[in-house]
Structure 1
Amino acid sequence: MRFQVLGPVRMSPRTPTAAKPRVVLATLLVKNNSVVSAHSLIDELWGTTPPRTASTTLQVYVSHLRKALAGAEDGPGGGPLVTQPPGYVMRVAPDELDLLVFESLRSRGRAAFDERDYARASRLLGQSLGLWRGPALSGIPHGPSLQSTAIRLDELRSETLEQRIGADLKLGRHRELIGELMALAHEFPMRESLHGLLMVALYRAGRQSDAVQAYHRVRRTLVDELGVEPDASLKRILARVLASDPALAWRPAESAPKTPAPADRSAPGPAAPPPADPPPPLWLPPPLADFTGRADELAHGAQLLTAASAPRILAISGRPGVGKTALAVQLARQVQGFAAGRILVHLRDAAGRALTAEAAVAALLRRLLPAGPAGPAVLPSDLGELTDLLQHATRSGALLLVLDDAVSEAQIRPLLTAVPDAAVVVTGHRPLAALEHARHLVLDALGQQEAESLLLATGGPRMAQDPAAVARIARLCGRLPLALRVAAGGTAVQPHWTAAGLARRLADERTRLSALCLGDLDVRSSLLTAYHEVSEAGRRAFRRLGLAPLPDFPPWAAQSLLGTSPKATEELLYALVRAQLLDVRQESPAADGAVRYTYHTLLRSLALDMLDEVDGEDTVTETVGRLGRAYLLRARAADARLTPGRDRLAGMLETAPADLPEGDRAVATPLRWFKEESAGLLEMVRRLHRAGLWDLTCALASATSGYYEACGVWEDWRAGHELAVDAARRAGDALAEATLLRSLGDLAWQRRDAARAVDCHRHAARLFALSDDGVGAARCATGEADVLLEQGEFQRADALYRRALDLARVEGDTRGCAEAERGLALTALLAGRPADCLAALAACASAASALGDARWHGYARRFAEHVRAARGAAPAGWPHLEVRPGVWLMSEAGAG
């Protein structure tokens, strides 16, 4: 299935990571095969306060979606996302969108129910519900349209679920439904129809008193919360339960069995039953009562283990605490048909040391061989003799083995050779890639909904009182089952703890692990087992890579943090990935194969924890500074290509002894590089500020503002520059402060905060004057003139633009000349002087060309073409006016 909206919004081959393109995707999908106007999409994205650049930004989001859909053509018309005035349409086949499949299955299931084909109805409705992966349209912000659609779809899901349960009740599955209905009644305490189904199921299972209690629970809730009594249908069910109404009991559809014929007295009596065979050995831990999720993994494992042909080896790997052993035990208890037994063997001793191959075989033999009168059998010490004995002991039937916490292929290979017909589940941190004939399953953290369900199952009723805190706890625990059980278990046994309080304790990344300890369950100790198994160089790399910005980082950032050669860095990264201490993400399988790395949230906490414990503060500051310089070098290279001549701080801090090669992404594709590193750049500014590296903080923030302005990344622009202004003041660097304030003035103008924009520009101009910097003063004059232009003070704006142009020419500032000429073109156009406007635009284009700025050059030519096409028409009649590249001044005529 190519598109999914029944849960988190996803699409193949690649889902956009940014939220707003996913909002566009979701809006188009829920109105699939219908035109969605651009105005509707803008309303969904920004509500009643769209930015100036709304139309341009929407086009960027649509372009991102088309690129993500690249390679999946949809006939002669091109891809599925088509521009069709007044907006766009997403062409979707019936089997490509889970919503369409759901609606089809639901419709067929309802029809089968109406035809009293309850088995078929249950199957079809169950299949439709199986398409859901969480609340509809989750994972994105909702505008008015998506909000109403999400509510409608979630209600449809509930109705479908109730009808499927109704079909199952008709089929006599009341006992199997009780657990599910109890959970649903807890989740939806005021949905009376669900409570009615629960009462019927309990009554039919012979639990009349429980059915009455279920009624009084929902009645109490309705009276306490809403001040209303249950509806008439629920009261009728109660009356029938109290009256022991036989019509409420289940009756099978088929006729009652016929009375058996009289027995033949001359026939011999029934034979005595044969003696029962002893049950096969069962050496498995008890199943977890709150085991949650993993349905796909269990189904896959059961299919493999019960296959007719050998070998049947499932190797489950994953980081500590992800639930490998729990899954293996659940799977071993679920599958049947192993006459020789189902046995788990721990491959580490009580101190955590790995067993030898001989000890592993011996441990299994002790489970298989019964003790004699003199006690347990004495086993040989030779590995060959042990495997021979094991082969003899397992000849009697099918055997299922769980080999828990394996450390290497060599540890278990002799054991597997001795039992070639056994079904085997192996667990371990590392993928045992060299294990012959094994099928591999790398276990990841639970999904968000599954993680929340586990917290609710373990944490008791107080956990269910705060759904928002539960969701936050799940995220802070990285949805790791061990961490979730520890977190919820602590809340369950502490009467004064709340879910909100637990979320607050887990919020601090550097103290999070200390809060995840309960008795002998310690998440930090569990994670440390994998940390101690790598080399000293690997442990050092693990600690220092924790300083990389979130959410992920590229190999060059790792090389900067580690201070190693590219080859050595690659080897260290591979070792950490193989040890499940680091995750790898491939950006584009079809392109250059570039990868990025990231930590599980709790492993990153461990990395920072160990960094504080092992490395000194000076080492941390030096490492952060080295990474900051690597980011600055690339940000400046990308900015010089994207907005040449803009960054005033570019010459104030040396970043590297040599330029970057042409093939580096910051040089080759600057806009793409900025988008990939956008989150990391802001995080890096914060880290540099926290480390007291003031010059680097200012320089890196300044190098980002060209990208932020071009793409409208307002909040990151504000946050990074405010930190940098503080850094400049702490360093006493007036010129850096002025440069950053001027940029904040441009941001305030973009956000239509005229008073702040003027204040920033004037304050920056004073600082530029004190620093005898004419270039900066000229650019401040242009910025203030832009504010005056928007306020309709065309003459004052024109005077400031002319002053800025004169200053820029004296200082030889080509970019300043381009910006001032652009302003003069606007004032000339607004004054009804199209010839002067065209002359100013020609000068602007010439300056942009000299800079090598294709974006500004294209803007000047595009603007000139519009002026010529208007043939002297007054700007008041224009629907909109582009005042900077991609920034529009909307007239009242164009605002609708």
Structure 2
Amino acid sequence: MRFRILGQLRCAPVTPSAGKMCAVLGSLLVEAGDVVATDSLIDELWGDHPPRTATTTLHVYISHLRKLLADDDDPQGRDRLATRAPGYVLHTSPGEFDLHRFEELRRAGQEFYARHDHAAASAALHEALGLWTGPALSGVPRGSRLEAAADRLELLRLDALEQRIAADLWLGRHRQLTGELAVLAREHPLRETLHAHLMVALYRADRQSEALAAYDTVRRSLAGELGTDPGPALRELHRRMLRSEPVVHAEEEPGGRQSVTVAGAPAPVVRLPRPDGELAGRRLQLAEAEEMLRGTSADPPARVLNITGPAGSGKTAFAVGLAHATAGMFPGGRVFAALTGSDGRALTTRDALLRVLRLVRPGRDATAPGEPAGTDELSDLLRVALAERRLLLVLDHAASPAQIGPLVAAVTHGAVLVTSRGPVAAGGGSRELPLAELGPADCGDLLARAAGRRITDDVEAAERIALLCGRLPLVLRAAAATLAARPHWTAAALAGRLADEHTRLDVLSLGDPGLRPRLLAGYFELSPAGQRAFRLLASAPGPDFAPWCAAALLDTSAERAGHLLDQLVHSGLLAVSCPPGRPPRYRFQEPFRALAAGLAADESGPVVRAAQLRLCAAYLVLARYAEAAMAPGRAPSPDDAAAGPPVEVPGGLPGPGHPVGDTPLRWFQEESTALAGAVEMAYAAGEWQVTWMLAETLTGYFQAAGEWERWESASGRALEAARRAGDRAGEARVLCSQGDLAWQRHQFELAATRFARAGRRARESADRRTEARAMIGLADAEAGSGRTAQARRIYGNAALLCRLADDPRGLSDALRGQALAELRCGETESALRSFAECGRVADALGDRRWSEYARRAADAVRLALADGGPFPGDPVEVRPGVWAMDEAAAYSAPGVR
């Protein structure tokens, strides 16, 4: 059987339908286990005017109830309702009657509360109140006895409700209680305890004005209904709120008195690691951080100070040192909490709350039975624990704003110091202090403290070590420990061992075996796509790279590549700089490049090779575009037979004009190291066509920038690649590039030999444009050797071949050389005609630089003629922007093609 009176009267499996039978059953249930006198039952049913048959009718009701209670599944049911003088008694078994269960839970809740086990008290009382489905004995005709019983039960319910709310307030659940308490206060306008709870909940939820308004409401109700003022506890609560003083709780004490519990001055709690000695190179930043926490006349104190920097930059040591240095600013204590687990992975928000709670409440276990398990409840519990503490909370290795949000919110009277690889703190009162790499002098000091004279005696080696360690304190200490443990090593020997990127971390791990996993902590927190990006970006050949380079390596869109790059920057695995007016540039610091390269070595070979080839293809397309922008008509179009097979560019690469923009020379300058590296990358991969095409495309830039060594190295690879590919047209173009290099170095005979070989290879492959280019180079070599007449004849043949090959760029160059040769031979009119035609051809090409050159050169000749010249020794502009003292010297002057 099941009996319910906390709400509508119910008896399972069958409830009586007659009202008076329900009244009899209700009266017996209210006194279940005790005898209810027959006279009392008659009074309840008929009051002061019972009928003459009242006793007989009552016996009938009792008989019907016995039949109803004796169902087939309960053979003992007839004994439930027994006759006991002077009336009847109803027996219930444990768990059958909701009132008995309510009283058990209510008493348990009171006991838990008395022991200050507020979580267990709240749970028991929540369960007790959950038994109520409405006013007690709803739907039952009630006489004076049942009416009194219902009133008594309602008072018990209200008492349990108030105590449950009190327990919840102790647990910091004030925000969740405000709505419920507002309804209860309206339903019970004279119950001061409920109004006190409402005021506390509003006040602690930062709703002070509403809390004060709640006091005014209850004050007016008491004055209007009872002609009295609020009690002393409510008045004290109001007074403290007016002064913005802290309040934790308000409750009724034994005897009916109310009290207000406030936070006093708890003993400071200090949970800090020992400081890590002197903070090398961080003295100025330490002073800056102290000023941020203290505040100035211009800036208020930072509520949250976010120390950011890559792994190994010394964020933890800095934070601990700052916490020790600012002890006087935080009388409530200083607590250090690492937000990573033993496996190095980030704690969940819930686990982070539990960790901090254990630190600020020593001896209390927040995970004990009955304690709150949810994040919101734990957050409120922490807020209560820190309510009156001006405390510095240090959160080390924070992973995200979501992880630290509840922890930051709990510190209302102190400050929070957060360390993270990227910014994770935001909102009012938040400041960021990035820890950059150390300066050279600080690096030397840090190394010298551990390794002594071997460092101070070899400053150059010390600087190399610092550079190879990324100037990061953690890595520098590992290097110093490695050297200190090996007295037979010199600083130069250590620098030499660190120079090999593939073994660098192995060497550093000799001094700090835990270095690699500590540096990789940010990597393991990345998404799988972010981890793949970190590995593949190690293939970028330059010291830094642009977003389009990442898109090509990762075979993705520019937008997606940007998101992945942001992940890596936020994790401290990449650094970023933003040149004015240019796209951002990304770079690995040395330890992280070595890490990425090591991880990439474990990547599937075809995956890495495909990424490298995409990048080389992208560099080729962009270099061709930039070359064509510098010298229109100079570079072949992709469908030119001499250019070899077309190169496919990944769909993620932006249009070729976008990265280069309208400053191709600057693009070449930014990418020069990477372009040379891309040539080596393509060569190492055996991609012969891409190797020679890319290297040959760089000729114009190498000439303009005077990059002789890179030019020589790239063209050497290119010539071998073209020969391995069996590409005679390619070999011809590369030989022309090598001839230009020899000419720039005044090696005219070597230049002539290379141009002659280039001409033969071009004729064999029917490449007229390259043949004409070889002829122009040969003529330049002849002119440089003083054989002007022979040079003039070759220039003329080259111009004819350019016309036949429809090569306007080559024609303008041939006409330039022909004009200079004619000028040296004294044929000024012919020279003027050649300059004029050179200008017209350049105009048709859209090459303003060359068309302006031709006009300037012609004007200079006319001006010299007007003065009776030209004379030997007069300066001559032999190419755009390149001058020589006379036309003979012009052929040995560095120029731009």
The letter for the 2-side match of 1:817 is: L
1:631 corresponding residue in structure 2: 619
Letter in 1 for 2:635: D
What residue is the counterpart of 2:525 in the other structure? 533
Q: Is the 8 A contact 1:648 1:739 kept in 2?
A: no
Matched, 1:417 2:409: yes
C-alpha displacement of 1:475: 1.0
- With over 3 angstroms needed to count, the CA separation of the structure-2 counterparts of 1:791 and 1:379, relative to structure 1, is farther
Q: Aligned to 1:607, which of 596, 601, 617?
A: 596
Identity over aligned pairs, percent = 43
Change (3 A) 1:706 1:883: same
Deviates more, 1:719-728 or 1:672-681: 672-681
CA contact (8 A) 1:649 1:699 kept: no
State which of 547, 557, 560 in structure 1 corresponds to 2:549: 557
2:745 to 719, 727, 751: 751
Q: Provide the rounded CA distance (Å) in 1 between the counterparts of 2:472 and 2:604.
A: 30
1:546 alignment partner, SS class = helix
Q: Deviations over 1:372-413 (max 9, x none)?
A: 9x9x99995556776666556656763222221122333333
Shift of 1:831: 1.8
CA distance in 1 between counterparts of 2:456 and 2:633 reads 56
1:227-264 alpha-carbon deviations (Å, 9 max, x no partner): xxxxxxxxxxxxxxxxxxxxxxxxxxxxxxxxxxxxxx
Q: What is the SS of the residue equivalent to 1:765?
A: helix
In structure 1, what is the equivalent of residue 786 of structure 2?
792
Q: Which amino acid aligns with 1:509?
A: E
Question: Is contact 2:266-2:388 (8 Å) kept?
Answer: no
- 2:278 is the counterpart of 1:294: no
Do structure 1's residue 887 and structure 2's residue 882 form an aligned pair? Answer: yes
User: 1:719 maps to what in 2?
Assistant: 713
DSSP 3-state at the match of 1:463: helix
Distance, in Å, in 2 between the alignment partners of 1:339 and 1:880 is 81
Matches of 1:665 and 1:418 in 2, distance apart?
47
Q: Secondary structure at the match of 1:305?
A: helix
TM-aligned CA distance change 1:496 to 1:649, over 3 Å: farther
Please name the residue that 1:479 is paired with: 471
Secondary structure of 1:441's counterpart equals strand
In structure 1, what residue type is equivalent to 2:839?
A: A
CA contact (8 A) 1:744 1:760 kept: yes
Shift, 1:441, TM fit: 2.0
Distance in structure 2 (CA, Å) of the matches to 1:811 and 1:418: 79
> 2:242 aligns to what?
none
Instruction: Please report the TM-score for the alignment, with normalisation by the length of structure 1.
Output: 0.63
Match of 1:229 in 2: none
Contact 1:284/1:343 (8 A) holds in 2: yes
Q: Does residue 828 of structure 1 match 2:816?
A: no
Change (3 A) 1:815 1:354: closer
Amino acid at match of 1:719: S
Contact 1:577–1:584 at 8 Å: present in 2 too? yes
Q: Secondary structure at the match of 1:289?
A: coil
Q: Deviations over 1:663-710 (max 9, x none)?
A: 625364433433333332222112111211110011111222123323
Contact 1:358 / 1:381 at 8 angstroms: preserved in 2?
no
> Which SS does the other structure have where 2:698 is aligned?
helix
Aligned mate of 2:856, from 862, 875, 883 = 862
Closer/same/farther in 2, CA of residues 304 and 840 from structure 1, 3 Å limit: same
The answer to whether 1:566 aligns with 2:558 is yes
Following superposition, the deviation at residue 430 of structure 1 comes to 3.2
For residue 327 of structure 1, what is the aligned residue in structure 2?
318
Residues 1:506 and 2:494 aligned together = no
Write the distance in 1 (CA, Å) between the matches of 2:794 and 2:402: 78
Normalised TM-score (structure 2): 0.63
The residue number in structure 1 matching 2:672 is 678
Q: Secondary structure at the match of 1:516?
A: helix
Q: From the superposition, tell whether residues 570 and 354 of structure 1 become closer, same or farther in structure 2 (CA, over 3 Å).
A: closer
1:311–1:421 CA contact under 8 A, matched in 2: no
Relative to structure 1, the CA distance from residue 388 to residue 379 in structure 2 (aligned partners, 3 Å threshold; closer, same or farther) is: farther
Q: Is contact 1:685–1:720 with CA below 8 Å preserved after alignment?
A: yes
Q: Which amino acid aligns with 1:286?
A: R
Shift of 1:713: 3.5
Letter in 2 for 1:320: A
CA distance in 2, matches of 1:660, 1:566: 7
Cα shift at 1:278: 13
Q: What code does the residue aligned with 1:675 have?
A: Q
1:734–1:473 Cα change, 3 Å: same
Q: Does 1:596 align with 2:591?
A: no
Structure 1: gaps of 5 or more residues: 1-276
Letter in 1 for 2:878: V
Q: 1:890 to 1:487 in 2, by over 3 A?
A: farther
Q: Measure, in 1, the Cα distance between the counterparts of 2:803 and 2:349.
A: 81
Aligned residue for 1:440, secondary structure, equals: strand
SS of residue paired to 1:871: helix
CA gap 1:811/1:418 in 2 versus in 1, 3 angstroms = closer
Question: Aligned-pair distance for 1:359?
Answer: 4.2
Separation in 1, partners of 2:567, 2:393? 29
Query: Counterparts of 2:478 and 2:706 in 1: how far apart (Å)?
Result: 43
Distance verdict in 2 for CA 1:384–1:545, change over 3 Å: closer
Q: Counterpart in 1 of 2:74?
A: none
The residue identity in structure 1 corresponding to 2:595 is: L
Alignment-derived partner of residue 199 in structure 1:
none
CA distance in 2, matches of 1:804, 1:355: 74
**Pair 1:869–1:334, CA change in 2 (3 A):** same
Q: Residue 462 of structure 1 aligns to a residue in which SS? A: helix
After superposition, the Cα gap between the structure-2 partners of 1:638 and 1:310, relative to the gap in structure 1 and judged at 3 Å, is closer
Partners in 1 of 2:661 and 2:427 — Cα distance? 44
1:269-284 alignment, distance < 5 Å? 282-284=270-272
Partners of 1:815 and 1:719 in 2: CA distance: 27
Give the CA deviation at 1:340. 2.9
Aligned partners of 1:285 and 1:378: how far apart in 2? 31
For the 8 Å contact 2:683–2:691, the answer to whether it is kept is: yes
Q: Deviations over 1:414-473 (max 9, x none)?
A: 333333112321112232144653211232222233223322223222122211111111
Tell me by how many angstroms 1:634 deviates: 1.8
Q: Which residue does the alignment assign to 2:628?
A: 640
Cα shift at 1:722? 2.0
Instruction: Single out whichever of 835-844 and 663-672 deviates more from structure 2.
Output: 663-672
Asked if 1:849 corresponds to 2:843, the answer is yes
Structure 2 counterpart of 1:274: none
Residue 317 (1) aligns with residue 308 (2): yes
Cα distance in 1, alignment partners of residues 765 and 865 from structure 2: 46
> Which deviates more from structure 2 when the two are superposed, residues 855-864 or residues 277-286?
277-286
- Give secondary structure in 2 for the equivalent of 1:427: strand
| 1:808 aligned counterpart, secondary structure | helix
Aligned positions, number? 613
Cα 1:354–1:619, aligned 2, differ >3 Å: closer, same or farther?
closer
Contact 2:387 2:413 in 1 (8 A): no
Aligned match of 1:706 in 696, 700, 715?
Answer: 700
Cα distance between partner residues in 2 of 1:464 and 1:710:
42
**Structure 2 unaligned blocks of 5 or more:** 1-264
Say which of 452, 457, 469 aligns to 1:465: 457
Distance in 2 separating the partners of 1:775 and 1:395: 83
Q: Residue 389 of structure 2 contacts residue 414 of structure 2 at CA under 8 Å; is this kept in 1?
A: no
1:260-294 Cα distance to aligned partner (Å, 9 max, x none): xxxxxxxxxxxxxxxxx999654333333353112
3-state SS of 2:576 partner: strand
- Whole-angstrom distance in 1 between the partners of 2:616 and 2:862: 48
**Equivalent residue letter for 1:618:** P
